[in-house]
Structure 1
Amino acid sequence: MKRIYLTPETSAVLSKTIRIGVPVAIQSALVAILALADVLMVGNFGKEATAAVGLASKWHFVAIMIMAGLSTASSILVAQYWGKGERSTTKAITLLAAKAGIWILIPVTTIFIVFSDNILSLQTRDIEVIALGSDYLLYASPVLILTHLVIVLESTLRSTGDSFSPLVIATITIIVNIALNYCLINGIYVIEPMGVAGAALATTISRATQIIIFFSYLGFKQHWLKSTNINALDVKGLHKKYISLAIPAVSGAVLWAIGTMLYQVIFGRMGTLELAVFSTIGPFESLCFSLFFGLSVACSVIIGQHLGCAEFTNAKAVSKLFTRTFAILGIATTVILLVFQPWFLSALGLDNSEYASLSKPAMTLLSIAVSLKMLNMIIINGILRAGGENKFCLQMDFIAMWMFGLPFTAIAAFILHLSFGQVYAMMLLEEVIKLTLCWRRYNKHLWLRDLTVSAHI
């Protein structure tokens, strides 16, 4: 039998992928488990509580996408400048991203508190769901700014090769969050059961804990993020370069997040039962992808550092390795989800007579679509964005989601009055369009750019 040997280059990429990707994958899985735990724990209070958490968290998801866009722009530059060994520049970029997010999120948080009833009524007509969702937004109001600071710090550390520290801090935080969930949602001793509001308060307290631990860690270690001097930098020029990446990144992220929320509006208008099933499958889907999200982050960091050093041939080789790997992993995941579907539905509490007719076809479709979604994940987040292709990604999201996914899903639900499973299938049309557009762009190799020296981004 012929033996297969790894080349030194492939071995180096594999080693770096494991070092960066595995901690990110574990952390992402833990975050997804936490989101799923929120849904399942409040499920004891009825399908209205489950739907309320799903709806309110979608608005937070929109805000988190703003943060994701800002941190995506910073991580692109951080990875490339870190490849050049410029610590002061990476710190300056991190501070730019942190400040930009705070200025944006203060008014966003205010809107969520003051107009919670109004914005939730856009998603559902159920008065009880709206009331519970408003409580969630109120008690979780400080979370957004705290979460942004965490996301920016984690993004910078990962882009400079340190994924382990964010994992350890996040693990502590998640353990605290789950414990607080149990105590505040269900009540314990002198604490009265708070239900949906308890889930939100637990998230707020645990996120504040995470920030305290983060800054304590940076101070104790005399981390370069704390000690590096940036006074001599051309901050104005760096600010312009960051903004040119951040605007399309944030616009694309928000556009995608609002579109995702509109999908939930469609299912919410179909009925509370449909919304409850959709809200339960969502975190499970996130858990599936979180296991591979770390690999896409590793891909982005490795490619970004190669591009920052103008090592375009190496960057192209890494991209091919990751796309092939994700194609194989996607097919394997589809098979696993289909084979063990009854077990997964049972674990999610979606196998009873009330939910089964809706959950089974949706889970089957999700299992099949996983392969497409994973390939899109690595091409978009791992490769194209590493080369600063944020403007293309913005255009691609608009075409795939707003010109195909959302219109076809809405038509299926409200004009053709199709079943839950058929409407869910129309939503997945978006992934087919994305893959078609992204694969074409990937093969043009326009993403092979050193952004640290480019005059135009």
Structure 2
Amino acid sequence: MNRIYLTPETSRVLSKTIKIGVPVAIQSALVAILALADVLMVGNFGKEATAAVGLASKWHFVAIMIMAGLSTASSILVAQYWGKGDRSTTKAVTLMAAKTGVWILIPVTAAFIIFSNYILNLQTRDIDVIALGSDYLIYASPVLILTHLVIVVESTLRSTGDSFSPLVIAAITIVINISLNYCLINGIYTLEPMGVAGAALATTISRAVQIIVFLGYLGLRQHWLKNTNISNLHTKGLHKKYVSLAIPAVSGAVLWAIGTMLYQVIFGHMGTLELAVFSTLGPFESLCFSLFFGLSVACSVIIGQHLGCAEFNDAQVVSRLFTRTFAILGIATTVILLVFQPWFLSGLGLNTPNYTLLSKPAMTLLSIAVSLKMLNMVIINGILRAGGENKFCLQMDFIAMWLFGLPFTAIAAFILHLDFEQVYAMMLLEEVIKLTLCWRRYNKNLWLRNLTEPVSV
């Protein structure tokens, strides 16, 4: 069996992982805390407000997954071209992703504003929840395009080894967002409480501030992303590469986002209390994943740069190091969540008699599933996607979620009429299927590809 020793190469990988992964992990944690703060702050306005934020934010999540798919495709190419030392092509890929997203998100934003009531009516029958969720969509939708630009720039900076700058700028933005949340949601001085709409407006304002700070940072630093000349670069072949990666990446991300939203629809039709518990656990789960997301980004960047230089053996060594690390950390996280479960439930406001009957077994299931989800994260996002395996990831997501997870969860809820915790358990079947498919694909080594090689046009 292959062993990984603490060689100079391994030490270098660990150092680079810390440099890239820790800032990303901190930023992910801050974003998750912000999402959790939204839910907890509007919770003072009742379970309808909590459910409304959960529902409306899922539609934004679908839009963000479009952005994530586009930035995933660009980050794969950016990491490999940066590893090859090609700054011009790196910038061209970034601009390509930014422009594509803007054109896609203009009609999406318009649809969210014009058809907000009809959209939310698909998820719940509660009139109050629909009205509150509609306010959230209307106030927050204009920020989608700015969010996309931020995500693309952050993705490029991380893929070129700079994850500290996005962290600092995001931290400033999140402090502003939480401060505005407090003022706009609850009201201050002569400002009337806006509730759910206030949470959305705070997000819009803070995101606008973030893009302004980013533009100022790139200008003041005379950053390569701003100053690199690409006027003489032929991008037809590059565009073909980007599209071949972007289409399956966006399709997979949107399918996954819609599937996640359909899980929420299932719990929404089970009852408002069930929906409130599900909506509160979601941001908490994201917070648990934040450390691992940072490590998976570092894994993807390091592997991608090795692949861009055709250093396939080094890429394999890094992949083995990360899979073992994720397995150990996933188990440790499960143990921590189980041991300190009462404290977590109390912090989430889910320890009251109304909530405990549902939240306690759901938290137990979530704790157990964390290990599977973490291992899936590093194999899919950290390894397979780094080698351009986006088509396989699309097929895998469709099989795991749409052929197993969603049908079994819906059957458990609407045909067998099982209890909340049993329905929640059915949802986790998806992760078992994913791990089975992804582990098999990983061991085939088909992801060991250099994507910077010329293609015919």
TM-score under structure 1 length normalisation:
0.98
How far apart, in 2, do the equivalents of 1:409 and 1:234 lie?
Answer: 49
CA deviations on 1:98-150 (whole Å, 9 max, x unpaired) are 00000000000000011111110110000000000000011102111010000
Where do 1:75-94 residues align within 5 Å? 75-94=75-94
Q: Distance in 2 between matches of 1:382 and 1:166?
A: 19
Distance 1:191 1:175 in 2: 20
For 1:236 and 1:303, how far apart are their aligned partners in 2? 26
Residue 5 and residue 373 in structure 1: after superposition, are their counterparts in 2 closer, same or farther (change >3 A)?
Answer: closer
Q: How does 1:9-408 map to 2 (within 5 A)?
A: 9-408=9-408
Residues 392-434 of structure 1: per-residue CA shift (max 9 Å, x gap): 0000000000000000000000000000000000000000000
Instruction: Output one character per residue of 1:238-262: Cα deviation in whole Å (capped at 9) or x when no partner.
Output: 1111001000000000000000000
Query: In the aligned structure 1, how far is the partner of 2:340 from the partner of 2:379?
Result: 28
Query: How big is the shift at 1:235?
Result: 1.2
Residue 237 of structure 1: how far off its partner (Å):
1.4
Taking the aligned partners of 1:277 and 1:291, their CA distance within structure 2 comes to 23
Distance 1:147 1:270, change over 3 A: same
What secondary structure is seen at the aligned counterpart in 2 of 1:141?
Answer: helix
* Structure 1 counterpart SS, 2:404: helix
Question: How much is the aligned-residue C-alpha RMSD, in angstroms?
Answer: 1.1
Alignment map for 1:372-451 (pairs within 5 Å): 372-451=372-451
Distance 1:285 1:399 in 2: 23
In structure 1, C-alpha distance between the alignment counterparts of 2:261 and 2:48, rounded to whole Å? 18
Mark the CA change 1:69 to 1:5 in structure 2 (over 3 Å): closer, same or farther. Answer: closer
Cα shift at 1:456:
8.5
1:200 maps to amino acid: A
Measured in 2, the distance between the counterparts of 1:246 and 1:269 equals 34
The one-letter amino acid of 1:15's match is S
CA contact (8 A) 2:299 2:318 kept: yes
How big is each residue's C-alpha offset from its partner over 1:26-84, in whole Å with a ceiling of 9 and x where there is no partner?
00000000000000000000000000000000000000000000000000000000001
Whichever residue aligns with residue 395 of structure 1, its letter is Q
Residue 6 of structure 1: CA displacement?
2.0
What amino acid maps onto 2:415 in structure 1?
I
What is the deviation of 1:325?
A: 0.1
Check 1:45–1:324 CA distance in 2 against 1; reply closer, same or farther (3 A cut): same
SS of 1:355 mapped into structure 2: helix
Supply the AA of the counterpart residue of 1:366: L
Alignment partners' CA distance in 2, 1:455 and 1:94: 19
* Amino acid across the alignment from 1:56: A
Structure 2, unmatched stretches of 5+, are none
CA apart distance, 1:390: 0.1
Letter matched to residue 209 of structure 1:
V
Letter paired with 2:90: T
What is the CA–CA distance in structure 2 between the aligned matches of 1:428 and 1:65, rounded to whole Å?
Answer: 20
Contact 2:380 2:438 in 1 (8 A): yes
Secondary structure of 1:354's aligned partner? helix
User: Are the counterparts in 1 of residues 237 and 455 from structure 2 also a CA contact under 8 Å?
Assistant: no
Write the distance in 1 (CA, Å) between the matches of 2:335 and 2:206.
36
Mapped partners of 1:214, 1:231: distance in 2: 23
Cα displacement (A) at 1:455: 3.7
Structure 1 unaligned regions, length at least 5: none
* One-letter amino acid of the counterpart of residue 214, structure 1: F
Partners of 1:271 and 1:115 lie apart in 2 by 24
TM-score (norm 2): 0.98
- Equivalent pair of 2:139/2:197 in contact (CA under 8 Å): yes
